[in-house]
Copies of this chain bind each other. A is one copy, B any other.
């Protein structure tokens, strides 16, 4: 019987969150994942694998890719837009990798999933971005959104982001302490066979592994 909902993409942050909920907090999350036309849709299969490895019973994969028109301005979705390098987005408060209102959409559907499971909490893997930014991963966003959900008259949902102040290095330290296999996570926005190593999320990921002095187990292009 699930007692909360966790949004898990298959990336390193949300997979660590899932293990944290199960191993540290002894929770039984119902997991929700999303396809939305992202080039790196291969991440979703990894979310499913962790659900299986952890013996969880509820996993809903919502396919929003028929609505990918909504996200056409994002380089994560549009084939017309190149995924930028970290240098191209550094300091940008809303770079071209931003997916319009993605977190609000994911959290809204996750909150409905929680309501229909009579659960009161939705967890998501927002973390501190050091090099660029998104408005929908901040503490401000979280607080204001909870102020909305608090109005629900029967099942007020609480949105929780335990890693909202963590760097990616902090997340790795947490994950290694509880046995996360990062070889079974995917971050690269390109979604190719090997990770590109230069897109914003690869750059952040590689820097985090370097910070903690452990090699990243996933294969990178040799450039």
Contact = CB atoms under 8 A, between A and B. Distances in A.
Given A70-B113, A73-B115, A104 B108 contact: yes
Contact of A153 (B93, B101, B102, B148): B93
A104 B111 contact: yes
Interface in A95-143: 98, 100-102, 104-105, 107-109, 111-113, 115-116, 133, 135-136, 138, 140-141
Contacts of A154: 93-94, 98
Contacts of A155: 100
A72 interface: yes
Interface string A144-165: 1101100111110100000000
A84 to B, nearest CB: 16
Given A66-B63, A108-B104, A154-B94, A71 B116 contact: yes
Interface residues of A, number: 42
A67 interface: yes
- Interface residues of A: mostly helix, strand, loop or mixed? helix
A112 B100 contact: yes
A108 B111 contact: no
A81 interface: no
Given A63-B66, A104-B111, A116 B148 contact: no
A63 B65 CA distance: 11
Given A101-B112, A104-B111, A154-B94, A141 B148 contact: yes
A69 interface: yes
A133 B151 CA distance: 12
Contact of A72 (B102, B108, B116, B157): B116
B70 A116 contact: yes
15 contacts: A60-B67, A60-B69, A62-B66, A73-B115, A93-B153, A100-B111, A100-B112, A101-B111, A104-B104, A105-B108, A105-B109, A107-B108, A135-B152, A138-B151, A144-B151
The 6 closest A-B pairs by CB, nearest first: A100-B115, A101-B112, A100-B112, A70-B112, A104-B108, A105-B108
